[in-house]
Structure 1
Amino acid sequence: MKKMFFLSAMFICSIAVCLAATVSLNGSWYGTLKTDDGTEYPLQYNFKVDGDKLTGTAKGPHGDLPILDGKVNGNDFSFSVTLEKMYLEHSGKIYPDSISLNIEAGDNKAHTVLKRGDN
C-alpha cells in the first residue's frame, strides 16, 4: 500500500514538474536577422497559442503578416509567413528566456534568437 502511494505521488510530482517547465509562447518576441553580407533586419513576432494551434503576426517592412499553419508541440513550434511572393518556413524551440528560431526560404536558411519584450 505504501509503495503504491509513493509511486503515485512520484508520478503526480513528475507531471507537475513537466507542466511547470513548459514556457508560454504567447506575447511579443523581438530579435535581429543578420544576413551573410552583414545586413540586419529587425524581427518582431506576436504569438497566440490555443492548445496546439499557433496564430499571430510577424511584423514586416510592409506591415503585419499573418502567421499561417502554426503548430505547437511542447516547447517546439512551427509556422509559415508569406512575404510578397516568398514563402518563409519557421521552426523553433522555446526556452525560459528566449526562442531559438530557424527560417527557411527555398535553399536559404537562417538562424536567430528572439527575446521576449515590449519594444
Structure 2
Amino acid sequence: MKKRLSIAALLVCCFAAAFAAFADLNGKWKGTLKIADFELPLTYTFKVDGETLTGACSTDQGDLPILNGKIKGSDFTFALDIQGQQMPQVGKFYGDSTVITSEFQGQKTHVKLLRAQ
C-alpha cells in the first residue's frame, strides 16, 4: 500500500513539474530569423492556458497573432498568418531557450529564442 502511495505521489509531482515548465513558457522571447544575408529580429509573446497557446510574433513590420496554438509535453505548434497564408510553426521548449522551426514558400527556417530581459 505504501509503495502504491509513493508511486502516486511521484506521478503527481512529475505532472506538477511538467505543468510548471509550461508556465515558464509564458512571456516574451527574442531571437533573429536569418535567411541568406537577411536578418529579422523577432519577439514572441506566449501565453499558456492549459494545453492552449496564444500570443503574438512581433517584428518591426508589425504583430502577427498566434493561431491554433497547442502544447503537448515540451512540444508546441501554432500558425502565423503571413499575407493570408498560414505558416505552420513547430516549437520545442527547453526551459532556458525555445526553438521554433517553420517552412514558408519552400524555405525552412530555424530560430532559437531566449527569454527577453
SS in 1 for 2:25: coil
SS in 1 for 2:16: helix
Report deviation, 1:70. 0.7
Q: Deviations over 1:73-119 (max 9, x none)?
A: 1211111111224432111110110011111113221112111113x
Mapped partners of 1:40, 1:93: distance in 2 = 22
SS in 1 for 2:4: helix
Residue identity in the other structure for 1:6: K
Mapped partners of 2:62, 2:93: distance in 1 = 25
State the match for 1:56 in structure 2: 55
Report deviation, 1:18. 4.2
Matches within 5 A, 1:100-119: 100-118=99-117
Mapped partners of 1:72, 1:44: distance in 2 = 19
5+ long unaligned stretches in structure 1: none
Matches within 5 A, 1:22-101: 22=19, 23=21, 24-35=24-35, 37-101=36-100
RMSD: 1.7
Mapped partners of 2:106, 2:95: distance in 1 = 30
Residue identity in the other structure for 1:38: D
State the match for 2:8 in structure 1: 11
Contact 2:28–2:44 under 8 Å retained in 1: yes
Mapped partners of 2:105, 2:86: distance in 1 = 8
Mapped partners of 1:57, 1:109: distance in 2 = 20
Q: Structure 1 segments of 4 or more deviating over 3 A?
A: none
Mapped partners of 1:54, 1:31: distance in 2 = 19
> Which range moves more in the overlay, 78-87 or 89-98?
78-87
Q: TM-score normalised to the size of structure 1?
A: 0.84
Contact 1:86–1:105 under 8 Å retained in 2: no
Residue identity in the other structure for 1:96: G
Q: Quick one: percent identity of the two aligned structures?
A: 39
Q: TM-score normalised to the size of structure 2?
A: 0.85
